Amino acid sequence: MRCSSGPCPESGVLPTAHPLPSSLIFRQEAAPNVPVRPRGSKLHSAEPAKAEFAPARVFCGRILHRGRIIPAEVGVSEEGRIVKVAPTVRGGQRVDLADQLILPSAIDLHVHFRDPSPPGAVESFPSGTLQAALGGVGAVVDMPNTDPPTTTLDRLEEKEGLVRGRSEVDVLLLAALTSRTRVEELAPRASGFKLYLAPTTGDLYEPGGPSQKELLERVARSGSAVHVHAEDPALFRSDLRPMDPGAWGAVRPEGSELRALRGLLPPVPGLRLHVAHATSTAALEVATGAGWSTEATPHHLLLHATPHQDARWKVNPPLRSRSTRDELFRAFVDGRITMLASDHAPHPLGEKERPFFEAPSGVPGVETMLPLLLARVREGELSLGTILRAASRRPALFLGLPRGQIAPGMEANFMVVDFRDRRTVRAKELHAPCGWTPFEGREGVFPREHYHLGQRIVEDGEFVGDHQGRLLRRGGGAAQLPTSADPGSYRPSVLPSGGRRVA
């Protein structure tokens, strides 16, 4: 029986086409050889399926195809790969999703799961990846500013051991980029490097100089990528004692972000550089001009600094003014921001209740990242295609992973969403051990179901998985990724072009 077609969210027009940053597409020929079994430990490879594999399960629902919501059936092999997308797929056990949407799982390029950390830490891979699964995020990239930080191969291997058998979604790991980093040793194992151009949580900031340029050149030769926290502390105001997020923005002003980015010019030839948590359109212009990819967070897209906020809204870089926030959101709507990322960085509520200047920076967000933006799709403020490109397809291309699309050859990592099913974000109903959220009271559209390699890990909004997450490495299966100028486009061969236009 065909799936029924029901109401779906509509947004106005297609986002404006913009040139894609040269750092976005993972280039297989530039990648180092990736051992499958380093030092006797298995790392999962994410290789595309062969098209001739018969489906073990067929999911019947609706998908976004060429900017329209259409009924479709998605055939998934026993190995967890999508083998066919068509109006009708024969064979296999049928899963009727009625008129709900089948959307690719998100990839969160920026999380801090605080693992390893001393006993009593507020987050870990089990708790962080659980939140990710419930929020529709099927893979995360974890940052290196842990305790101890990920600065050596031994520490990276220790962290890999903490991922295996303890994660609910797939995990990729970054290494810290400092003057002591052995780039050539770490590049084949890490999924990239993180460069801190200013002090923040952890102790990985080093003043720039000739050694920094040399480090970036070494990363470029390795074929790896660098994620950059861009703030220049030379413009920080140490004479101020802030008591709210607006004052915190005066301590770490927008100009510090611009100066840090300009300090990376001219671009290092061949370097894949990614700008983390951009906070202004001026920063986007610098990054776009240099050919770098960018990300924006839900807190910088949806929140702005006010005098009434306490340290729960303290982040690095800071929340900006309402006008700056509005400009950034418009840039996201227009497709000028490459990717969406949460910068999930929780702290215990007790630490956030300290005097503002002493309190740590960071907010939880991996569970609410996608639901908050899907709610904006529901309200017609944002196109569904924009979200899927920024949260799924482009991160997959950046990491060189065969996912991020409902298309043959991709891994069957997807969620099921019903836009009629919305709920108010409440900290007591979320799963962050820190117990609070800066988005309290806002509306979210959470996934009803979530699948990892075709296996259900979320059912009726409740987690039902069992540590199925894998330790991944950038570049798995990248050779068969599409090379279209629009990384959000794909062409399942037998689908019609009818349906309601939504993106």
Please check whether residue 472 is in contact with residue 46, taking contact to mean a CB–CB distance below 8 angstroms.
yes
Structure tokens at 161: 């051991």
Cα gap 492→473, rounded to integer Å: 27
The strand pair at 500-501 and 462-463 is best described as unpaired
Q: Rg for the chain (alpha carbons), in Å?
A: 21
Alpha-carbon distance values, 213 to 180, 190, 220 (Å):
14, 20, 11
Q: How many beta carbons lie within 10 A of that of residue 98, not counting itself?
A: 13
End-to-end CA distance of the chain: 27
Q: Which residues contact 85 (CB under 8 A, 6 or more apart)?
A: 63, 72, 73, 74, 75, 406, 407, 408, 492, 495
Listed as own residue / partner, the contacts of 377-380 with beta carbons closer than 8 Å and 24 or more positions apart are 377/9, 377/11, 377/419, 377/445, 378/9, 378/419, 378/422, 378/445, 380/9, 380/10, 380/11, 380/12
Cα gap 262→441, rounded to integer Å: 38
User: Cα–Cα–Cα angle for 351, 355, 356, nearest 5°?
Assistant: 90
The amino acid present at 159, given as its one-letter code, is K
- Which phi and psi angles does 414 have, rounded to 5°? -150, 165
Task: Kindly list the catalytic residues.
Answer: 343
User: Cα–Cα–Cα angle for 387, 392, 397, nearest 5°?
Assistant: 125
Query: DSSP 3-state helix, strand, coil percentages of the chain (rounded to 5)?
Result: 25, 20, 55
Cα gap 242→28, rounded to integer Å: 47
Q: Which residues contact 312 (CB under 8 A, 6 or more apart)?
A: 349, 352, 363, 436, 438
